[in-house]
Amino acid sequence: MTIKIKQKLVEIYNRGSQLRDVRVLGLSLFLIVVLLISWSGCKTIQSNYTLQKQITELTQENKVQQLKNDDLALQNEYLSTNQYLELSTRQNFGLGAPGETELLVPEGVALAQLVPISNTTTSTNATNHQSGYEKNFHAWIDFFLHRQTTAD
């Protein structure tokens, strides 16, 4: 039994001497250098990626600003035309072109020509047999469509 232990100790010592061999040390040093260079390359690639991403974001922002500037330039060009001046004087001052006649229609005559809405009576009868969710839904629809309903 002691012979086996001695043999194992000798094997371990011989392996330790293999680690002290110049070839193993050179190979391990070469491996460390390769790993450091690879790590540095990966960091460089990552920094280039982030910089490229920033560049594309800034170029997109520049394009958006350029489009806004072009839009404002077109708007300024339109505001300086005679067509805009004529429309603005008609709207703001109520003026017209020479020779035009303006017709004023009384409010009562204009409202007499409207078609009455008959959906309000059917919606109030239908809401009596609906659940709370359905009543709420129809109330919102009536609100957005500017329908007047009677209170329940």
Residues 91 and 115 in one domain: no
For 115, other C-beta atoms within 10 Å of its C-beta total 5
Give CA–CA dist 84/92, Å, rounded.
12
Residues 73 and 143 in one domain: no
| Axis crossing angle, helix 22-79 with helix 82-93, rounded to the nearest 10 | 60
In percent, how much of the chain has pLDDT > 70? Answer: 87
Residues 86 and 111 in one domain: no
Residues 70 and 115 in one domain: no
Domain with 85 in it = 1-96
Structure tokens at 110: 């204009």
What would the pLDDT profile of 38-81 be if each residue is shown by its tens digit? 999 999 999 999 999 999 999 999 999 999 999 999 999 999 99
Mean pLDDT of all residues in 9-26? 75
Q: How many domains does the chain have?
A: 2
Residues 6+ apart with CB under 8 A from 123: 138, 142, 147, 149
Give CA–CA dist 139/131, Å, rounded.
12
Residues 147 and 120 in one domain: yes
Share in percent of the chain as helix, strand, coil (round to 5): 75, 0, 25
Give CA–CA dist 124/151, Å, rounded.
9
**Where among 80, 96, 112 does a domain terminate?**
96
**Where among 76, 96, 116 does a domain terminate?**
96
Query: SS3 for 141?
Result: helix
Does the pTM of the predicted model rise above 0.85? no
Residues 39 and 114 in one domain: no
> Do 33 and 40 contact (CB within 8 A), yes or no?
no
How far CA 63 is from CA of 2, 60, 73, 76, 77, in Å, comes to 83, 5, 15, 20, 21
20: left (phi over 0), alpha (psi -120 to 50) or beta: alpha
Mean pLDDT of all residues in 73-99? 88
> Do 141 and 114 contact (CB within 8 A), yes or no?
no
| pLDDT for residue 51 | 96
